[in-house]
Amino acid sequence: MLRIHCPYCCEDRAEEEFVYAGEAGITRPLAPEQLDDAAWGDYLFFRTNPRGAHQEMWFHASGCRRYFKVLRDTVTYALAASCRMDESLPLPAVDVLP
């Protein structure tokens, strides 16, 4: 089981309290009406699936009920950092997550 640090509650809590909410850092197109169907579909449905460091969004469903960002290694499941939505996650060097 993962222990996830909620930056709002300032506590490490059990994974069962949280809901994975997708990839973090995806920017909505400024003029979606100007996109063709392929580009709009790409924005809506396609996400990266990296091996290693990955920025994710989580929701603290059984706690403060807020969204926040997590930097997690998809191979080891190690959590390197978490931050509020208005903050930036640190960018890890290649293969340095614990």
Question: Does residue 67 fall inside a structural domain?
Answer: yes
pLDDT per position as a tens digit, 67-84: 999 999 999 999 999 999
Give residue 45's domain range.
3-84
The type of residue at 86 is D
pTM value? 0.82
**Residue 93, pLDDT score:** 56
**Residue 97, pLDDT score:** 47
For the cut 80, the answer to whether the pLDDT of residue 91 exceeds it is: no
Question: Does residue 16 fall inside a structural domain?
Answer: yes
pLDDT per position as a tens digit, 20-46: 999 998 888 999 999 999 999 999 999
The total number of structural domains that make up the chain: 1
CATH number at residue 72: 3.30.2270.10
Question: Does residue 48 fall inside a structural domain?
Answer: yes
Question: Does residue 63 fall inside a structural domain?
Answer: yes
**Residue 6, pLDDT score:** 97
pLDDT per position as a tens digit, 48-71: 888 989 999 999 999 999 999 999
Burial label for 58, CB within 10 Å (0-12, 13-18, 19+), is: buried
Question: Does residue 91 fall inside a structural domain?
Answer: no
Q: What is the DSSP string of 59-84?
A: EETTTT--EEEEEEETTT--EEEEEE
Rounded CA-CA distance 81/4 in Å is: 9
SS3 52: coil
Question: Does residue 89 fall inside a structural domain?
Answer: no
Question: Does residue 10 fall inside a structural domain?
Answer: yes
Question: Does residue 20 fall inside a structural domain?
Answer: yes
